Chain A
Amino acid sequence: MKERYFEVDMLIRIQQITWYLVMVYFAAIYVLFMLDFEGAFELARYGIILILGATVLKLVVLAERFRIARLRRFWLLSYLLVLILAAVAVLRYLL
């Protein structure tokens, strides 16, 4: 019989860690801004990279959870989404 139990603890943990990181990072940008640090907001660029990177990581974890739960169609769909996001990024970068 197929195992269809889907474990979401890992996903919750990743989202929780990302929440703390983004929170601390953007709060730090604001502290620097208040201290008149020139170009404080330029640091937000890396914050956005962190946010987008965490989204891809979430998708990969989701896909692997589907694989473990033997939900093949959803496993493939998750990686298709990763592929679409990567294709969009590559096309935007090249064009």
Chain B
Amino acid sequence: MIDQLLYILCGLSAGLLGGYLGLGGGVVMVPFLTVLVGIDIKQAAPVSITAIVVNSFTASNEYLKRGMVDMELVVVLAVFMVLGNITGSLLSAYIPGDYIQVVFAVLLIYTAFSLLKGRPATERMSFKDNRGKYLLICTLIAFVTGTLSALIGIGGGVVLIPILYLVIGLPLATARGTASLMMGFSAAAAATVYFLGDQIDLAIVSGVVLGIIVGAKLGGYLGTMAKPMVVKILFFILLLYLAYRLLYEPLTGLL
């Protein structure tokens, strides 16, 4: 019974933060389930992916109602993110993970500080005025992010949202709303694979889904009213935390 309450709590916290920031919530769920509850990563990952699909249709609805989702971008990002995921899983057997982890961690730290600093409006590219050109850039960003997330095993949203804001100049609220809806489509492919392979623990997923469906509703609602600076600070912390997680193993191996 205590375990079940922990699963619900895990879903609730992932839904709240995920919905608020427009993320899937895997960045909260996987450490929660593995470190706090003590579940193996092989059990936690399928549960997290399934819950991300639920988080997406719950939180993104709040963003959709307020016109904070770019529908064309959703489809472009989802298609190329899934293609990137497939490429990443095919490449994972040939590419040494440690080097990519270090390079990616450095990039995350750079992104974290750039995000906090922000860019002057005059310097920022206008996505609105150059849609065609920037949609093309988005295909590349989504593909690379998808490939890396499959290679390193980190969620796509936490990387994608700051990049959409910094590189494409998409408003932070729209980037979060767009990523929130897109994440459900890209996670559905992996969730299907886990489901057909009977790899989803039904007792854990029941609790997490129940928690996330409530948490994401509230998180999504609060997220639409969030102050950009608060969002930036939360992303800053999350990006540094991810960089730490990526650097921990390769660096401890060296020492």
A residues at B contact (CB < 8 Å): 6, 8, 11-12, 15-16, 18-19, 22-23, 26-27, 29-30, 33, 41-42, 44-45, 47-49, 51-52, 54-56, 58-59, 62, 65-66, 71, 74, 77-78, 80-81, 84-85, 88-89, 92-93
For B210, list chain A residues within 8 Å (CB).
Answer: 23, 26-27, 30
For B79, list chain A residues within 8 Å (CB).
Answer: 77, 80-81, 84
Q: Does B213 count as interface, using CB distance less than 8 angstroms?
A: yes
- Measured CB to CB, the closest approach of chain B to A68, in angstroms, equals 12
- Complex contact A54–B202 (CB within 8 A): no
- Complex contact A29–B184 (CB within 8 A): no
Query: What is the interface of chain B mostly: helix, strand, loop, or mixed?
Result: helix
Number of interface residues of B (CB under 8 A): 42
Query: What is the interface of chain A mostly: helix, strand, loop, or mixed?
Result: helix
- Complex contact A33–B4 (CB within 8 A): yes
Known: A12-B65, A92-B197, A93-B196. A78 touches B75 (CB 8 A): yes
0 or 1 for each of B70-94: is its CB under 8 Å from A? (1 = yes): 0110111011001100100000000
Cα distance A18–B58 in the bound complex, in angstroms: 9
